[in-house]
Chain A
Amino acid sequence: MAADASPTAVAPARPDPTGPGRHAGEAQGPPAAPILAAEHVTLRFGGVRALTDVSFEVRRGEVFSIIGPNGAGKTSMVNCISGRYRPTEGAIRFDGKDITRLPTRKRAGIGIGRTFQNLALFGHMTVLDNIMVGRHHLLRHGFWTGMPYWLLGAQREEIAHRREVEEIIDFLEIQHVRKATAGTLSYGLRKRVELARAVALKPKLILLDEPMAGMNLEEKEDMARFILDLNEEWGMTVLMIEHDMGVVMDISHRVMVLDFGRKIAEGTPEAVLADPHVRRAYLGEADEVVHDVDEPAVA
């Protein structure tokens, strides 16, 4: 497994079999059937419009990123998908089914997992238990069969799922903390445990809300590698919000840009970067200023 998937924009192409093909679109990619479709989603809180008429599709098997300035509505969009918010107007379809009104708790079962921007681990549980909670909807034994642990098969089920959870633990390289209390871990590790918990759901679509916020370069590189592996080896579709443009441009198949709750661009990273609206709205005027100042100095 290549360890040098660099999140910086200037890095050379990843040593990845798909190579630059990832950036070039969907030449060899999976069929374009959308796993998730947002249709004219509007979200209002009283007089405040968090989202205005946002439509987009996430194709099966891709890494799709949402970027935009602070307050652009990125997390609101993810909350609409995970069920925390209900869109005021519009619809959200997952796997062909309308899930706009589906209760949050039922979305784990249909294959939507997520992580949170501000850590949302179960602080007093061990890492192992945290991840096992992710298996909740896959486990069958309730309290009446769980209490006589050995008699009615709860133990067998626990062991079987423990085995799968250990694979996730191996993958995310958190073996050394599996028995530690989640609340005592460092920030980077907690982010990783949270990812593990979301992966344990066996989601088809995993929503990552700023998976790399507050991480150092090394931790970001690790996280980028995990996301790529989840996408390519575990076959999960990834929808990610991230501020680090280097990471976004490097690992996304497609990018959507939000600004003030509106979609202003969508496409491959190159296309989005080249879009004049995006340059103005997201990267700011400063771009041109820097350019102006730089020109004479170089010349």
Chain B
Amino acid sequence: MASMIPAGVYRTSYREDMTILATRNSRLALWLGILLVCATPLVFGRYELGLLVNIGIMGIAALGLNILVGFTGQISIGHAAFFGFGAFASAWLHERYHVPVALCIPLAGLMTALVGLVFGAPAARLKGLYLAIATLAAQFILEDFFARAQWFTGGVAGRITEPFEILGWRADREETYLYVVLAWVIIMFVGASNLMRTRDGRALVAVRDHYLSAEVMGINLAYYRTLSFGIASLYAGIAGALYAHYLLFVSVEAFNILLSIQFLGMVIIGGLGSVAGSLMGAAFMVLLPEAVQALADALAGGAVDRALRLGNSISFLREMAIGAAIILFLIFEPDGLARRWRLIKAYWKLYPYSH
């Protein structure tokens, strides 16, 4: 996380030195990026906007998992279950207590955080593989709960959810829901960036890097290990709630262990311990199947297809590509897209001189 500050940037106060984004240009670029996303409904169709919405939702969930896995150095293979809990909680809050949807989303996040704290309690004592198994148990326990708790989830039939609405403004289409997701993405990512530059964020990283000396520094290991589960679940819950009010229907099958693995894939591909990387990883994982699908469509019926007799199995390329991407990233880019992005920036900083 070494800083990369170009020559000629002089900071004259600690406040300036502690900003999230180092330079005026990077701040400008961010604002420009947000503006561009805001403008996409003018250009893109519903399908492309749906992809953007998905990237945002998955990005929030991946960021939560990154706080747990990347920053605190723990492991969870049950993230999808918390994501699902958030989705059901939001739907339930609206249907049972008629809480406005806009409020349901943060409330569902808080409820999921509480559940996460419960399932995170073993993390105070377990590490590594043992913790992985404990979180796997959380995944299956919650999945089972979803299937059985009819009052909460609607059981196997699932639950219809209401679209997002605030002050009479309904966001029931991609063109409008995009802004809801964008707002939450900004809130959650700024929150995480702030967290990482304050006391508790540093404590989480300290627990990861050297827990013995963290303890000597006065850090309560059990508290922070459990807390990181709580924060991860908060993110998962909010992402899940956003997902529920986007699809307008939630059902148990969506939140299986495959999704948990996909979240892990996003975090690894994006870059462990990188806030921005979480969004990059989510974008990669959402867009990769699209790219592979496009490739498969291009291949279908072509010379390669005929020669290898791929036929219907060409669609499996999609599934295989995800696995291959994770493996390739682990081998060639273990620090993820975030590091590649830094290297590209470093290259342009020195361009046209290579040293």
Contact = CB atoms under 8 A, between A and B. Distances in A.
Contacts of A113: 216
A133 B197 contact: no
A54 B17 CA distance: 49
B2 A201 contact: no
Interface size bucket, A side?
35 or more
A132 B1 contact: no
B213 interface: yes
Nearest to B2: A181
Given A84-B212, A108-B217, A136-B202, A155 B15 contact: yes
B18 A125 contact: no
A82 B216 contact: yes
B14 A105 contact: no
A207 to B, nearest CB: 9
A120 B210 contact: yes
Interface in B149-195: 191-192, 194-195
A184 B1 CA distance: 11
A141 B2 contact: no
B199 A181 contact: no
A113 B214 CA distance: 12
A106 B200 contact: no
B218 A159 contact: no
Contacts of A134: 217
Interface in A146-192: 146-149, 154-155, 158-159, 162-163, 166, 179-181, 184
Contacts of B194: 146-149, 154
B213 A136 contact: no
A139 B199 contact: yes
Contacts of A83: 215-216
Contact of B2 (A135, A158, A163, A184): A184
Interface string B205-233: 11011101111111111000001000100
Interface string A99-110: 000001111110
B116 interface: no
Contacts of A201: 217-218
Contacts of A143: 195, 198, 200-201, 227, 231
Contact of B218 (A116, A126, A137, A179): A137
Contact of B18 (A104, A122, A137, A158): A158
A124 B221 contact: no
Interface size bucket, B side?
35 or more
Contacts of A137: 217-218
A116 B213 contact: yes
A123 interface: yes
A85 to B, nearest CB: 12
Contact of A105 (B1, B221, B231): B221
A60 interface: no
A179 B212 CA distance: 23
A159 B1 contact: no
B3 interface: yes
A228 interface: no
Contacts of B227: 143
A114 interface: yes
Contacts of A142: 199-200
B252 interface: no
A197 interface: yes
A120 B202 CA distance: 15
A23 B198 CA distance: 45
Given A154-B198, A163-B14, 14 more contacts: A84-B216, A104-B215, A105-B221, A106-B218, A116-B212, A122-B210, A122-B214, A124-B208, A129-B202, A133-B203, A133-B206, A136-B219, A137-B217, A141-B199
19 contacts: A82-B216, A104-B215, A105-B215, A114-B216, A122-B210, A122-B214, A124-B208, A125-B1, A125-B209, A136-B199, A136-B218, A136-B219, A137-B217, A137-B218, A141-B198, A146-B200, A148-B191, A148-B194, A201-B218
